[in-house]
Structure formats: C-alpha cells, structure tokens
C-alpha cells in the first residue's frame, strides 16, 4: 500500500510550483500580523478580501484560538518577541470579574488606543470560548522552553495567571469526576452541535493545560520554595493523572471494547454499577462503528454522558490526545490505522474533516437549532478544515520521533498519506484563496459561508511544509512533556 501511495503522489506532485506557493503563503502570513501599542502581537483571523469585501469585521481581531498555529510557527522561526507580546497581552486581559475570574479572552483588538477584549459577550449567540483559556498555559510553556526565557515563566505575573486559571478549572463541583464540564459551542465547535458536557477536545486540552501548568509551577518552585505552591503542584499532578485514567477508561473505544460494552448489564445501582456506571444501553451504539473501527482501529469518542455517549469522531481532540501523550503509543497506532482505514471520509479531497459522521435530517434540525451554517457536510457538521491537517501531521511525525522502530509499515503508510494530503492542499488552497473550510462529502466545494485568506489555513499549510521539508526535528516543539 505504501508503494501505491508513493506512485499516486508522484502523479500529483507539482514540484515546479511548491517554492512559489510557499513563498506567496509566507508573504500573506506577514500581512496578517498586526500591532498593539506599536508592537507585533499576533495575527488577525483573516485578511481582507483583495476585492475589497469586508462583511465580517471581527475577523480583523486577534483570536487566541486562531493564533495557536501562528504562535507555533513563530516559535519555529525564532521570532520569540512576538510570542511573548501575545502572551503578555492575553495575561493583561485575563478576566477579574467574579463569575469569570481567570478566563482568558476569546479575542482582542485595539480601538482608539484601548484594548477591547471579548469573553463571549460580543460573539454570535454570546457563547464563551473555553479552549482559549486552556491553550494559554500550553503556549506559555512551549515559548519558555523553546526560547529558554525561564525568567518569564517563573515571573510573578505568569504564576499568578496560572493560579487564577487553576482556581477556575479545579474548583469543587457537584460532580465527582475529573473532567471539565462546559456548555455547547464553547470550543472550536462554536455552533450548536450537541457537544455540551465533557467534550473530547476540551478534556484533551485540559490534560495538556494541567501538564503545562505543572511545568510552569516547577520553574517557580526551583527559584523559591513555597508550601502553598507545592500543595497546588501535587493537586494538579493528581488531577492530571485522574483525568487521563478516566478518559482512557470511558472514551477510548475499539471493536473489542464495544463488544464488551454491548454485553454489560444495565440498570445497576450501588456498588455493582462499576461495570456500566453511565447506564449505557446497547441500542445507542451506532451500527456504522462496526466497519469504521475494523479489527485494529481505535479512537476517543466525542463525549460521555449518562446514557448518551457521543460516538462521533472529532479530529482535533484525537490528534491533541496524541500530541499531549494522553493516549499510549499502541493506542496512537490504533488511531492511525483507523484514519488510514477511513481515509475517504476523513481526508477526501481537502484534508481533513472536523467531525464524522455529520448530523442529518431531523437530528440536524433538533441538535443544531436549524443553524444554516451547520448544514450537513458543512462548517462544523462534517465540513473539511485544512487547518486541521498539520495537527495530524505533527502527531505522526512526533510518534515517529518517539518510537522510530514501532510498526514501520504502518508509519510508512501514514507518512505516504500525509505527503499526498500535503500536495492536495498545495494544489488546491491557493486556487481556492486559502478558504476557511470546505463543504460536501468529498470536501471539494468551498464552504457556503467560508472566509477566504483565513490565517490558520495559511499558517497550517506553512507549519506542515516546515515539518516535512525544512526541519522535521522541530516537531519536538509540540511535545509538552519533554523537559
């Protein structure tokens, strides 16, 4: 199969255009960078359309979520000052309000010399972005480690920001589980999609966030020992451990685990409910999973709620689980086999799909509130987002770096698929004006409401190019667990 992919790749490889496409993308990326108080702090969500179209003013703001790949790219390029400026502005804007104390802004913009932050009050539907807050410690730790700016990581303002966030995340609740419960639309899936509760992307991010907070607190502890800091460090480590154990127990599924789940007793209570503590009925397991999982595939499901597990596949949550080391090396290879087996669904013509399968018919109307942006096979309801491919690419390359001798045939197939997907994007994205997302079962149509010249589409391509062509060893930047 690897030889077959290699032959197909040679047929589509546009070698004469690669350098020109990359150079043009780099030039457009430079145009996305903006200044706050005279200093570069990050990128706008999208460039203005060359034809002068300006129908979405907030795309000129600096979104923390959209700037995650931007900050990774800047770190790889050694442009540390911009990353530090971004982290400091976010830290300055960390909420001090009673109910949202510790939350980082979804986005910010400078207007008439003043910083204007959005914590959800200005967004469509007034939704709050939880992932923005969880990403900040991850970006901070990677910046500190890459730039070796240990003083910044151990500084009082950074440590205070970390403690405020942990106070928000680790506060007591009515639930005894280690997951973080969030409302619908509170992360990259930012339109109603029935993802409330403990969605995978948030839990994977929480795992990475807790690990990064531990690394940052250890920096402060080396400089000055504190009993309170030591207690918080122990608590955070334990929470991270409990979260991982919980997710691997309840979210990880294979063909074998599903067969066990189907035969578990229901209606249990008291001490006997350990076998089926969420009272999951066998009828809720969708039949499409049988072919989807094959015999050796595995993945983390989208959500676990009482009697209502969400078996949809969410690309970002699963790839983050690989990057953050949430799932084991054998589980990562099971995930890669699943992606390879379902390539026509997840990669198609514009890699890669954000969620599978999409909600259709009555389910679409009921779960999405008939949101016209989330038609089946569109936007976050089964749409294709080119900005997601670099996360998978990073997971594949990082796995190869960590385990160079493990299942060489499988990893060769994954590497070949990644190469072909890279050429697909190189061929199509410039012609499609670096669109935000793509519609349809094969992902060949530009999204019905997609913005063009989207920053994370451009930067996602540049990141993948850097890891594949410039310096593959730089993938170690994404390993947050490396000291």
Distance separating alpha carbons of residues 346 and 340, to the nearest angstrom: 9
Q: What DSSP line would sit under 84-95, residue for residue? A: HHHHHHHHHT--
Query: Looking at residue 279, what is its pLDDT?
Result: 81
DSSP designation for 180: P
Residue 344: in which H helix or E strand, if any? helix 343-346
Q: How far is CA 312 from CA 263, 300, 366, 439, in A?
A: 21, 9, 17, 18
Query: Looking at residue 176, what is its pLDDT?
Result: 83
Task: Provide the residue ranges of all domains of the chain, joining segments of one domain with +.
Answer: 2-50+57-260+275-478
HSE at residue 96, side-chain half, CA atoms within 13 A, is 4
Query: Looking at residue 269, what is its pLDDT?
Result: 74
Both tokens assigned to 154: 């151990």
Q: Is the dihedral of CA 329, 335, 339, 341 positive or negative?
A: positive
HSE at residue 60, side-chain half, CA atoms within 13 A, is 12
Task: Answer yes or no: are the C-beta atoms of 181 and 360 closer than 8 Å.
Answer: no
Distance separating alpha carbons of residues 427 and 420, to the nearest angstrom: 11
- Other residues' Cβ atoms within 10 Å of the Cβ of residue 237: 15
Query: Looking at residue 1, what is its pLDDT?
Result: 42
Task: Answer yes or no: are the C-beta atoms of 119 and 100 closer than 8 Å.
Answer: yes
Architecture of domain 2-50+57-260+275-478: Alpha/alpha barrel (1.50)
Largest CA distance in the chain: 67
Distance separating alpha carbons of residues 291 and 313, to the nearest angstrom: 14
Query: Looking at residue 36, what is its pLDDT?
Result: 95
- Other residues' Cβ atoms within 10 Å of the Cβ of residue 172: 6
The one-digit pLDDT tens for each residue of the chain (483 residues) are: 444 444 444 445 555 689 999 999 999 999 999 999 999 999 999 998 655 444 556 788 999 999 999 999 999 999 999 999 999 999 999 999 988 899 999 999 999 889 999 998 877 667 788 999 999 999 999 999 999 999 999 999 999 999 999 999 988 888 889 999 999 999 999 999 999 999 999 999 999 999 999 999 999 988 777 888 999 999 999 999 999 999 999 999 999 999 888 888 777 777 766 677 888 888 999 999 999 999 999 999 999 998 899 999 999 999 999 999 999 999 999 999 999 999 999 999 999 999 999 999 999 999 999 999 999 999 999 999 999 999 999 999 999 999 999 999 999 999 999 999 999 999 999 999 999 999 999 999 999 999 999 999 999 999 999 999 999 999 999 999 886
Query: Looking at residue 261, what is its pLDDT?
Result: 84
Beta strands in 266-414 (DSSP E): 298-300, 313-314, 355-356
Q: How far is CA 3 from CA 6, 297, 335, 345, 401, in A?
A: 5, 22, 21, 22, 22
Task: Answer yes or no: are the C-beta atoms of 90 and 66 closer than 8 Å.
Answer: no
């Amino acid at each position: 199969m690897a030889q077959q992919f290699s032959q197909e790749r040679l047929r589509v490889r546009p070698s004469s255009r690669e350098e020109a496409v990359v150079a043009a993308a780099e030039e457009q990326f430079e145009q996305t960078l903006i200044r706050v108080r005279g200093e570069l702090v990050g990128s706008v969500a999208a460039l203005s359309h060359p034809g002068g179209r300006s129908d979405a003013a907030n795309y000129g703001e600096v979104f923390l979520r959209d700037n995650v790949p931007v900050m990774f790219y800047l770190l790889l390029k050694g442009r540390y000052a911009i990353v530090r400026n971004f982290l400091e502005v976010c830290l300055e804007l960390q909420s001090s309000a009673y109910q949202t104390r510790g939350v980082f802004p979804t986005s910010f913009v400078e207007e008439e010399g003043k910083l204007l932050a959005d914590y959800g009050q200005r967004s469509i539907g007034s939704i709050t972005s939880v992932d923005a807050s969880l990403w900040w410690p991850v970006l901070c730790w990677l910046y500190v480690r890459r730039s070796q700016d240990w003083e910044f990581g151990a500084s009082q303002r950074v440590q205070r920001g970390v403690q405020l966030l942990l106070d928000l995340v680790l506060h007591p609740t009515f639930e005894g589980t280690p997951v973080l419960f969030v409302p619908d639309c509170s992360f990259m899936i930012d339109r109603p999609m029935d993802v409330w509760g403990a969605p995978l992307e948030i839990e994977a991010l929480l795992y990475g966030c807790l690990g990064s907070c531990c690394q940052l607190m250890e920096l402060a502890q080396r400089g000055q020992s504190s009993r309170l800091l030591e207690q918080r460090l122990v608590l955070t480590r334990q929470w991270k451990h409990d979260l991982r154990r919980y997710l691997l127990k309840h979210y990880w599924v294979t063909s074998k685990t599903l067969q066990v789940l189907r035969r578990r007793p229901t209606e249990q209570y008291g001490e006997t409910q350990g076998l089926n503590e969420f009272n999951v009925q066998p009828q809720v397991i969708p039949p499409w999973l049988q072919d989807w999982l094959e015999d050796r595939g595995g993945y983390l499901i989208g959500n676990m709620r009482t009697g209502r597990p969400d078996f949809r596949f969410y690309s970002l949550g699963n790839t983050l689980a690989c990057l953050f080391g949430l799932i084991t090396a054998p589980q990562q290879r099971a995930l890669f086999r699943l992606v390879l087996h379902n390539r026509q669904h997840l990669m198609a013509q514009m890699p890669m799909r954000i969620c599978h399968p999409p909600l259709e018919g009555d389910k679409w109307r009921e779960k999405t509130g008939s949101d016209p942006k989330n038609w089946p096979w569109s936007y976050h309801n089964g749409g294709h987002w080119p900005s997601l491919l670099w996360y998978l690419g990073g997971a594949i390359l990082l796995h190869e770096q960590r385990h160079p001798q493990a299942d060489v045939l499988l990893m060769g197939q994954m590497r070949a698929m990644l190469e072909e997907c890279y050429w697909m994007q190189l061929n199509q994205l410039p012609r499609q004006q670096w669109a935000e997302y793509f519609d349809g079962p094969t992902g060949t149509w530009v999204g019905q409401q997609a913005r063009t010249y989207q920053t994370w589409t451009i930067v996602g391509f540049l990141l993948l190019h850097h890891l594949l062509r410039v310096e593959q060893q730089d993938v170690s930047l994404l390993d947050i667990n490396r000291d």
